[in-house]
Amino acid sequence: MTVHATQEPGDTFIDDVLRGLEVRDVTAPHGERGS
Amino acid sequence: MRPDELERHLRQRLDALVPAPRAELLHVLMLPDFERAERIAEFWSHPQSRAFAAEPLRVSAGLIRCVRTRYLVLAFGVLVSAACAEPSGGGTPPAPPSTAVDAAAEGDSGFMPSTYVEGGSVVMPITFPDGTTAKLVYPPELDLSGMRVQPYSSGYGPGFARDFLVLDKPIDDVIGGYEQAELLADYGDGHGGTVGFWRLPPDGLYLAFQYGSWTVLVYEYAEEGAQMSDEDRALWATNFHGRDAEDGFLLLEAEPPLRLARAGEHAGPELGLWSRNGDSRALSLYAGECTPYGDEKVNGLTVDRESEDFAAWSCPMRR
């Protein structure tokens, strides 16, 4: 999975997401595990 | 900058646009080549359309020049190669930003994804329009579930391709949000219902579908020469389907010869998370294989961050 993030200049949102977001248990629609 | 890098940057910029301008740009990219060349030239010669790409994103002047240069080179090349082809009848001016989207951002709460807490983290199950599922795990202060969810995808048929504007409210509210909405035609859906073909000024023409709690608008060009045929629109009405997933996200399906873009394909399934506060905080999540790209390492991630207001990365998945 790819992530794009935007924020206001000077905001810390992107860094907060980079540090805090984790993606788990990805499952493709045909039942395979995602990558 | 290498062509593949430029392509990647361009795609990232397109993906980060607010929905209506992005939809317009995607329509351009999905046009047959000689139509696309015409629209591209028009796009860049039109101050308003050029502004809506540059202004919200604060795209660097250098990148704009690169993109414009590439497009104009592409346009020139395609026009030369298509010199013997029949002209396509021209394009329509790009649509201004969507009033429906603006209204949704300003007012109602819309769809709120369910979450639960696990070990001090918030877990938010998500479902992409193609059925890909995942869990977003994050600290409570990120409050991603408080953002507005906007699914996105596109579909193809024989000789046409269109992408979707998805709104998390009933179709009557969406249509009712346009002061000058005009129903142009109705198409039978094959199950006793109809699908409306609407003129929704100032945003343009759309086939409007209600799927569960979501409204899906399939774009149509204002210029007759660029439009789908009546049979094409009737095909959308009968072969395009959708519903609420168990978690409330939108699921979309299509029957041949209609086909939806698959994960990893251009304009394929994605989920947007948009700030409800009117600022630029937003995430776009793309289903499909991840290809690490970028020259910055943050928390073990490879990040492409060319400015302080935009970043792209591939998420490692824990299973």
Measured torsion, CA atoms of residues B163, B166, B172, B173, in degrees rounded to the nearest 10? -130
- pLDDT above 50 for B271: yes
What's the pLDDT score for residue B89?
28
What's the pLDDT score for residue B203?
87
- What ipTM describes this predicted complex? 0.90
Under the banding of pLDDT at 50, 70 and 90, the label for residue B8 is low
Q: Which residue has the higher pLDDT, B150 or B93?
A: B150
Q: From CA A27, how far away is CA B4, in angstroms rounded? A: 29
Size of interface A-B (CB pairs under 8 A): 144
Contact between B298 and A25 using a beta-carbon 8 Å cutoff: no
Contact between A8 and B290 using a beta-carbon 8 Å cutoff: no
Answer yes or no: are the C-beta atoms of B33 and B82 closer than 8 Å. Answer: yes
Pairing of strands B301-307, B270-274: unpaired
**How would you class B146 by CB atoms within 10 Å of its CB: exposed for 0-12, middle for 13-18, buried for 19 or more?**
middle
Under the banding of pLDDT at 50, 70 and 90, the label for residue B14 is low
Contact between A6 and B16 using a beta-carbon 8 Å cutoff: yes
For the sheet containing B148-152, what is the strand order?
B148-152, B270-274, B282-286, A2-6, B310-314, B301-307, B296-298
> How far does the CA of residue B287 sit from the closest CA of chain A (Å)?
5
pLDDT, tens digit, 9 for 90 and up, residues A1-35: 899 999 999 999 999 999 999 999 999 886 444 44
Q: From CA B276, how far away is CA B269, in angstroms rounded? A: 22
> How far does the CA of residue B123 sit from the closest CA of chain A (Å)?
9
pLDDT, tens digit, 9 for 90 and up, residues B100-152: 444 344 455 799 999 999 999 999 999 999 999 999 999 999 999 999 999 99
Which residue ranges make up each domain of chain B? 1-52, 65-150+265-314
Is 0.90 topped by the overall pTM? no
